[in-house]
A and B are shown apart, each in its own frame.
Chain A
Amino acid sequence: EPEVTQTPSHQVTQMGQEVILRCVPISNHLYFYWYRQILGQKVEFLVSFYNNEISEKSEIFDDQFSVERPDGSNFTLKIRSTKLEDSAMYFCASSPTNTEAFFGQGTRLTVV
């Protein structure tokens, strides 16, 4: 069964460093998303992406965040200058119809 894959599974970074989280969505899906989940809290929407542009973004998704689909398969989330409060699980998801979402296994980001 097709699945969303994310790399790396764990990332530890120093505060102020840039990180790039990578995702390969399901191949025939057109809608892509990033969510995050701080330990013990709700899954929170960050951004949606369709037709090579951002469709919607949350208040969390400030100027430190950016997304890119550099080629036909990858979808990346970049955090320019990480803060301690960026520590969380980051989930990529994709959808064929912009309704139900299929999530990857996540990247655990730890900022020290």
Chain B
Amino acid sequence: SQKIEQNSEALNIQEGKTATLTCNYTNYSPAYLQWYRQDPGRGPVFLLLIRENEKEKRKERLKVTFDTTLKQSLFHITASQPADSATYLCAINAGGTSYGKLTFGQGTILTVHP
């Protein structure tokens, strides 16, 4: 069966450190993989998209890697700040006829301590 798993339910780190979140998937061949941020009671906010033929994408303090052989994406936040505390969701566009449909992982709750 198809699965998207984010390996940690919760991650606690100290301010200034790099947070690394993991997303693994099985039985998908995604055209894209995306990362979103979700704050409590709010809608997901788009952060980054990486295509199947891309290895790495950066945006300011954020970096995403995508390994289609390992079926894994890593999401890094460098120089983390307490304001980065939120739930981070990975999501897959399956491609083909399901191009626009996003399938989400369960999320990782990141807490950055001052």
Q: Are B100 and A103 in contact (CB under 8 A)?
A: no
Chain A hits for B42, CB < 8 A: 105-106
Give B12 Cβ to nearest chain A Cβ, in Å: 20
A64-111 residues with Cβ-Cβ distance < 8 A to B are 89, 91, 93, 95, 98-106, 108
B35-56 residues with Cβ-Cβ distance < 8 A to A are 36, 38, 41-46, 49
Contact of A56 among B44, B89, B100 (CB under 8 A): B100
Q: Are B45 and A56 in contact (CB under 8 A)?
A: no
Q: How large, as a class, is the contact surface on chain A?
A: 20 to 34
Q: Are A45 and B103 in contact (CB under 8 A)?
A: yes
A-B contact pairs, 24 of them (CB 8 A): A33-B100, A42-B104, A42-B105, A43-B38, A43-B44, A43-B91, A43-B102, A45-B101, A48-B100, A50-B100, A55-B100, A56-B97, A56-B100, A56-B101, A58-B101, A89-B41, A91-B43, A99-B34, A99-B49, A99-B99, A100-B46, A100-B49, A103-B43, A106-B43
